[in-house]
């Protein structure tokens, strides 16, 4: 059933054109609202539950394993939420509906009448699916009304609160909002998978650099011939260039996932969203910087030996 078709039936049932236009506007706003919430909302709730900066991971080597764990945890959270919104959409889609009558739409513009019959049935389904995910209390800890409004927008939340019945039009908008919430999370999940692949590629490249630098470090510089020291210095110059190239690739996008996440005016950057709980939100660049410093220290040691001869 289209929005226009529902609106036409509402007019024939005695609803004013102004009220129908308000309903249609709320639906259009809902479509853009739900697409804009996932990353910004996840970031906000994680900031609330994390607390102060003192509760963040201590500074130092973050390492790729901690970054991978951060990715995996967020992937588990969003996967559970995708499944929950799917189950909720199915539950609401199976509910019986009421006829669209003039008073069936009054709740969209009226406040303060408590939960109607439609709202109580939808609320039960929401509580047993979306609010039943294992991480709900830790990550959100919100009331039903607060969470519903944050996910679906205040207009639809108000309609569910005030509506005395469940007309097909309202049912379809609730199902559509749940599917949008599910699809938005699926898009972020795709980005997380691409980030994991990019992280692994960067880790492999940096491991090669670390291994070769360790071989150079193992040489007894003081007893090496000048020609060997020059060759070792050239090897280090190559390693430094590879570190620089790795950093440039990460920053330019070669070693970053394509960002197909829902747009939001207040959404943070992808790294801030994923790695916010770590000591650094840029684990790849931080790891490259640390290895570059080690390469430079080894090069400086060789230069000192050469300078003393």
191-225: per-residue pLDDT in tens?
899 999 989 999 999 999 999 999 999 999 999 99
Among 186, 217, 247, the domain boundary falls at 186
pLDDT of residue 13: 46
- Residue 35 shares a structural domain with residue 131: yes
Domain shared by 81 and 102, yes or no: yes
The domain of 75 spans 3-186
**Same domain as 140, residue 39:** yes
d(CA 185, CA 207): 32
59-73, 101-115, 117-131, 151-165, range with greatest mean pLDDT: 117-131
Q: Same domain, yes or no, for 177 and 197?
A: no
Number of domains in the chain: 2
For 265-290, what is each residue's pLDDT tens digit?
A: 344 577 888 888 888 889 999 999 99
Neighbours of 256 (CB within 10 A): 19
Q: Are residues 147 and 239 in the same domain?
A: no
- Domain endpoint, select from 147, 171, 186: 186
Alpha carbon 304 to its chain centroid, in Å, reads 48
Q: Is the pLDDT of residue 127 over 50?
A: yes
What's the pLDDT at 72? 96
Q: What is the pTM of this model?
A: 0.75
Phi, psi for 167 (deg, rounded to 5) = -65, 155
- Name the pLDDT band for 183 (thresholds 50, 70, 90): very high
Q: Are the CB atoms for 110 and 159 separated by under 8 Å?
A: no
Number of C-beta neighbours around residue 249 at 10 A: 18
* Number of CB atoms found within 10 A of residue 113's CB: 13
CA contacts within 13 A on the Cβ side of 199: 23
User: Are 167 and 26 within one domain?
Assistant: yes
Shared domain for 178 and 286, answered yes or no, is no
- Final residue before a domain boundary, out of 186, 220, 249: 186
Query: 17 is written with which tokens?
Result: 């054109």
Quote the DSSP letter at residue 58: P
């Amino acid at each position: 059933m289209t929005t226009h078709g529902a609106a036409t039936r509402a007019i024939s049932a005695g609803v004013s054109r102004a009220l129908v236009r308000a309903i249609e506007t709320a639906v259009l706003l809902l479509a853009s609202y739900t697409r804009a919430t996932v990353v910004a909302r996840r970031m906000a709730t994680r900031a609330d539950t994390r607390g102060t900066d003192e509760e963040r991971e201590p500074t130092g080597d973050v390492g790729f394993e901690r970054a991978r764990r951060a990715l995996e945890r967020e992937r588990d959270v969003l996967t559970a939420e995708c499944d929950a919104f799917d189950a909720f959409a199915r539950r609401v889609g199976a509910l019986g509906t009421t006829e669209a009558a003039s008073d069936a739409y009054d709740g969209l513009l009226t406040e303060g009448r408590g939960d109607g019959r439609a709202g109580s049935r939808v609320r039960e389904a929401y509580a047993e699916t979306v609010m039943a995910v294992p991480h709900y209390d830790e990550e959100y800890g919100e009331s039903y009304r607060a969470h519903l409004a944050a996910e679906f927008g205040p207009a639809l939340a108000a309609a569910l609160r005030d509506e005395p019945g469940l007309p097909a039009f309202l049912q379809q908008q609730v199902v559509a909002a749940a599917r949008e919430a599910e699809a938005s999370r699926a898009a972020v999940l795709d980005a997380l998978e691409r980030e994991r692949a990019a992280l692994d590629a960067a880790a492999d490249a940096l491991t090669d650099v670390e291994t070769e630098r360790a071989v150079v470090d193992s040489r007894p510089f003081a007893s090496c011939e000048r020609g060997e020291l020059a060759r070792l210095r050239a090897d280090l110059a190559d390693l430094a260039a590879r570190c620089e190239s790795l950093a440039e690739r990460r920053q330019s996008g070669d070693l970053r996932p394509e960002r197909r996440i829902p747009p939001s005016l207040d959404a943070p950057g992808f790294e801030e969203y994923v790695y916010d709980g770590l000591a650094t939100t840029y684990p790849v660049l931080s790891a490259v910087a640390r290895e570059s410093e080690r390469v430079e220290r080894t090069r400086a040691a060789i230069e000192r030996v050469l300078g003393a001869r």
